[in-house]
Chain A
Amino acid sequence: MNEATAPRARTARAELTASRAGSKRLEKAFLALCLVSVFAPLALLLYLVGETTLDGLGRLSWDFLTGYPSRKAEKAGILPALVGSVYLITLAAGMALPVGVGAAIYLEEYGGRSRLARLIEVNIANLAGVPSVIYGLLGLGVFVRFLGLDRSLLAGAATLALLVLPIVIISSREAMRTVQDNVREAAYGLGATRWQVIRSVILPQALPGILTGAILAVSRAMGETAPLIVVGALTYMTFLPDGPMSPFTALPIQIFNWVSRPKAGFDINAAAGITVLLLTLLAMNATAIWIRQRAQRRA
């Protein structure tokens, strides 16, 4: 080391080794805070789920799944609610998915930046943030009364379809947007029409994302209570729905009904019902992940 560089080396050493104890401590504290905000709610959630499952486990049986509601808590079952829920989400998905994906295709691939597309976009974003009970009122006004569907499965499913439509549209658009422009260009460059590009290039690539959105939507529909009550779902139903125009009830409504009863025993039924609902949702999500991974493996 010659004399000219020695002082510079000294200052460099001082600069590079200065104590950062204060800022390090702050960093650690912040990290701790972040960890707490992640794990505290998670722990609470786990506790709730665990507690509920433990409560309900005793009631979970084949009889519970295949039984009808009863005034006696230990005899009550959830079959009509379960069947109603399956009907509802199947119908709702059947309505919301084609319409939602179609709307997403229009907005993403055709709409461009037209005034109309912009207007629709703003409205969809708004609808996604509207409380679900308002969809119930909409369903009550439009489907039940105006279209005369009465308090039927169809009216309930249509209401749920409206409710999840923004989710389907937004997630489908998001998925289509991830398809890179150069892949689109490649297809156009081969002489494909716009529709051919959409059908054979964009949709297959966006499929995993669209499926994810669809499952989110169905899960949401599965758990909704308020709009169904407003539309006029029954809270006590001792028969099975026999078609789209039949009266109906649903799993969350059955649970809500049991929760609001003061008599002992029904709270256990509610816990068991919640467990069934959770398991169903879990199974659906698992299926979705499986389908998505299969689709992605091809990619």
Chain B
Amino acid sequence: MIVAIAAGQQPRLTLDPRVPVETMTAYIVQVSMGDTPAGTLEYRTIFAVGATLFALTFVMNVLSQRLAQGKRGRL
């Protein structure tokens, strides 16, 4: 969220770290601030973005758990 403010709110596909971009979180927040009645395209889109974000973090969580468990198993 705070990152959302710091990184800017401009959707832009770039690898240049110096220009403002938009994070998934910021996008969801941005859309939510406007009026988004259930069923509209915007409403569905934030859920799609959320699902993507969840999938990404899920993979990372599982990976980190694997690592932690591997360590413990060896002790």
Judge whether B1 and A137 touch: CB under 8 Å: no
Distance from B45 Cβ to chain A, minimum over Cβ atoms (Å): 11
Inter-chain contacts of B65 with A (CB < 8 A): 122, 125-126
Question: Which B residues are closer than 8 A to A by beta carbons?
Answer: 1, 4-5, 24-25, 28-29, 32-33, 38, 46-47, 50, 53-54, 57-58, 60-62, 64-65
Q: Is the interface of B mostly helix, strand, loop or mixed?
A: helix
Complex A-B, nearest 4 residue pairs according to Cβ-Cβ distance, in ascending order:
A226-B1, A137-B50, A230-B32, A129-B61
User: Quick check: is A259 within 8 A (CB to CB) of the other chain?
Assistant: yes
Between A and B, 28 residue pairs with Cβ closer than 8 Å are: A125-B61, A125-B65, A126-B58, A126-B65, A129-B60, A129-B61, A130-B54, A130-B57, A130-B58, A131-B53, A131-B54, A131-B57, A133-B24, A133-B53, A134-B54, A136-B28, A137-B46, A137-B50, A140-B32, A145-B38, A224-B1, A226-B1, A226-B25, A226-B28, A226-B29, A229-B33, A230-B28, A260-B5
Q: How many residues of A contact B (CB 8 A)?
A: 24
A-B contact count (CB 8 A): 61
Specify which of A122, A134, A145, A224 is in contact with B53 (CB 8 Å cutoff): A134
- Bound Cα distance A232, B57 (Å): 24
Inter-chain contacts of B50 with A (CB < 8 A): 133-134, 137
- Bound Cα distance A125, B68 (Å): 12
Judge whether A133 and B28 touch: CB under 8 Å: yes
Inter-chain contacts of B46 with A (CB < 8 A): 137, 230
Inter-chain contacts of B54 with A (CB < 8 A): 130-131, 134
Inter-chain contacts of A125 with B (CB < 8 A): 61, 65
